């Protein structure tokens, strides 16, 4: 195994996966820590603190509290016998609630609020880090237009800045693609700035079969670079190295990964001149693309990634929270109007899908991109957990508020049945999203493209 391949495995797999596990675990830990600290402060009985569900991988007991890491990494829990029973998710308690002094409704409400509150606090701290070190984002500037696409036929050109989609102002590429995906019409109106000109184009969208959302055949203006060069490939023989920043092919400036792939595909078995930046020096290399016998596409054997622009200083924490909350609201509206938008349950992601997207974001944009998604995840987790549904923190708050209003405990059988039923629904929902959305979307297909996806080892 070559040194370059070892470095590639570490930078593209080990390091990003470590960060995903760290941030995901930190998000769960902080949420459960909020419940734990307030329950302890209010004098409630704490039986168990668990990261994950199901059987324990590792556990220990201290001061009568069992701490564990469990096999199913889809959340966590603090087992509190004085709260509503949660046996479907937490397992059977060894303590009989009737043998303990009852917790007041206010105690239960404060414990329930503490988890989301600490997620918001963590999101704020991480947002402050992005504010200080920079926020990764690509501006909404077109780098490449798919040839023969409706966008090209409409007159959109590389270098155009998309300022508005329908009636929504956009500044980044992500905001532009979200506005397209959530549009209630299959045709979107793009307001474009081209130098001093202000132009308007009506463009037909198409469905992305993998993510089941509307999209356009437009790509952002970014410079691709070599994540890994496959041994004995045309690129390796030409002298291309990992981290080379591609500038042009046969004199054509490169502004996106898709454009570079297209230029290579058009030149099978023909020498191409590649200009690339390496340690601040311009390199001129010659490679001969070889046709892959499987999919009959010309390649040079490079795994490509793209640099994200870093805005310094980054967006303020208030701006970041506003962006995430706005995106959540727009997604909710798109789901409500799914017949018009086409956005449904198969368009959203569960823990598996989030982890894969998170991994790829870190591979492409580094730790700052990982922090950006951590901010989004913590805000989402806080909001979703406050929904007034049994099994969620919001459900506990509702039960406690009713208990305070009627001045007596709720019927335990009713509470237990409600919790168990909604726990079963939640588990079924997560399984549906995992199987019919995440796995369908991310499992490898018969044809793979080493030009677009990082690879742990040569094919």
DSSP conformational letter for 294 = T
Average pLDDT over residues 217-246: 90
* Burial of residue 168 (number of CB atoms within 10 Å: 0-12, 13-18, 19+): middle
Lowest mean pLDDT among 58-62, 437-441, 444-448: 444-448
Q: Which ranges in 239-309 belong to alpha helices (H)?
A: 257-265
Count other Cβ atoms within 10 Å, centred on residue 9: 17
- Residue 305, both tokens: 């990634």
- Give 15-51 pLDDT, tens digit per residue: 999 999 999 999 999 999 999 999 999 999 999 999 9
- Residue 74, both tokens: 């889809």
For CATH 2.30.42.10, list the domain ranges present in the chain: 137-220+311-345, 224-305
Using the predicted structure, report yes or no on whether residue 298 has a pLDDT greater than 90.
yes
Using the predicted structure, report yes or no on whether residue 272 has a pLDDT greater than 50.
yes
Using the predicted structure, report yes or no on whether residue 120 has a pLDDT greater than 60.
yes
Q: Rounded distance, CA 459 to CA 455, Å?
A: 8
What pLDDT, on the 0 to 100 scale, is given for residue 312?
85
What pLDDT, on the 0 to 100 scale, is given for residue 458?
31
Average pLDDT over residues 372-386: 97
> Considering Cα of 389, then 390, then 394, then 400, what sign does the dihedral take?
positive
- Do 76 and 32 contact (CB within 8 A), yes or no? yes
Pairing verdict, β 168-169 and 290-291: unpaired
Q: According to the per-residue pLDDT averaged within each range, which of 10-14, 245-249, 321-325, 349-353 is highest?
A: 321-325
Using the predicted structure, report yes or no on whether residue 364 has a pLDDT greater than 80.
no
224-305: CATH architecture: Roll (2.30)
Tell which CATH classification among 3.20.20.80, 2.30.42.10, 1.20.1270.360, 3.40.960.10 matches the domain 137-220+311-345: 2.30.42.10
CA-to-CA dists, residue 448 to 72, 238, 267, 452, 458, angstroms: 30, 23, 20, 9, 12
What pLDDT, on the 0 to 100 scale, is given for residue 459?
29
Residue 443 phi/psi, 5-degree rounding, is -65, 140
Using the predicted structure, report yes or no on whether residue 326 has a pLDDT greater than 90.
yes
Using the predicted structure, report yes or no on whether residue 451 has a pLDDT greater than 70.
no
What pLDDT, on the 0 to 100 scale, is given for residue 308?
79
The distance from CA 230 to its chain's CA centroid, rounded to whole angstroms, is 28
Percent of the residues in the chain that have a pLDDT greater than 70, as a whole number:
95
What pLDDT, on the 0 to 100 scale, is given for residue 140?
94
What pLDDT, on the 0 to 100 scale, is given for residue 2?
65
- Give 58-82 pLDDT, tens digit per residue: 999 999 999 999 998 889 999 999 9
The mean predicted confidence, pLDDT, of the chain is 89
The distance from CA 323 to its chain's CA centroid, rounded to whole angstroms, is 15
């Amino acid at each position: 195994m070559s040194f370059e391949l070892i470095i590639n495995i570490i930078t593209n797999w080990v390091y990003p996966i470590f960060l995903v596990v760290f941030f995901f675990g930190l998000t769960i830990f902080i949420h459960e820590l909020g419940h734990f600290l307030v329950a302890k402060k209010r004098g409630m009985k704490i039986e168990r603190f668990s990261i994950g569900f199901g059987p324990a991988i590792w556990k220990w007991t201290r001061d009568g509290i069992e701490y564990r890491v469990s096999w199913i990494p889809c959340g966590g829990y603090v087992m509190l016998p004085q709260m509503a029973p949660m046996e479907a998710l937490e397992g059977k308690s060894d303590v009989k609630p009737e043998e303990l002094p009852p917790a007041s409704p206010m105690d239960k409400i404060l414990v329930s609020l503490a988890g989301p509150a600490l997620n918001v606090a963590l999101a704020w701290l991480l947002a402050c880090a992005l504010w200080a070190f920079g926020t990764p984002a690509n501006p909404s500037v077109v780098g490449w237009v798919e040839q023969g696409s409706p966008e090209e036929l409409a007159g959109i050109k590389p270098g155009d800045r998309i300022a508005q989609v329908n009636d929504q102002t956009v500044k980044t590429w992500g905001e532009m693609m979200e506005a397209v995906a959530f549009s209630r019409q299959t045709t979107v109106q793009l307001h474009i700035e081209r130098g001093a000109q202000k132009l308007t184009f009506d463009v037909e969208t198409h469905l992305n079969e993998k993510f089941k959302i509307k999209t356009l055949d437009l790509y952002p203006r970014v410079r691709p670079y070599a994540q890994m060069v496959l041994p004995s490939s045309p690129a390796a023989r030409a002298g291309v190295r990992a981290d080379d920043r591609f500038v042009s092919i046969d004199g054509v400036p490169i502004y996106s990964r898709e454009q570079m792939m297209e230029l290579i595909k058009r030149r099978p078995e023909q020498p191409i001149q590649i200009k690339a930046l390496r340690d601040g020096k311009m390199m001129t290399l010659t490679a001969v693309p070889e046709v892959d016998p499987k999919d009959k596409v010309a390649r040079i054997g490079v795994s490509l990634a793209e640099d994200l622009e870093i805005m310094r200083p980054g967006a303020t924490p208030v701006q970041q929270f506003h962006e995430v909350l706005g995106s959540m609201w727009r997604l909710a509206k798109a789901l409500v109007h799914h017949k018009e938008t086409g956005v449904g349950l198969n368009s959203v992601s569960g823990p598996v899908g989030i982890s894969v997207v998170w991994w790829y974001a870190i591979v492409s944009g580094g730790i700052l991109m990982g922090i950006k998604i951590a901010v989004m995840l913590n805000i989402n987790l806080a909001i979703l957990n406050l929904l007034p549904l049994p099994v969620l923190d919001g459900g506990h708050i509702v039960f406690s508020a009713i208990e305070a209003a009627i001045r007596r405990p709720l019927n335990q059988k009713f509470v237990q049945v409600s919790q168990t039923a909604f726990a079963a629904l939640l588990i079924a929902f997560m399984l549906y999203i995992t199987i019919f959305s995440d796995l369908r979307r991310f499992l490898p297909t018969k044809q793979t493209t080493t030009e677009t996806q990082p690879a742990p080892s040569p094919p």
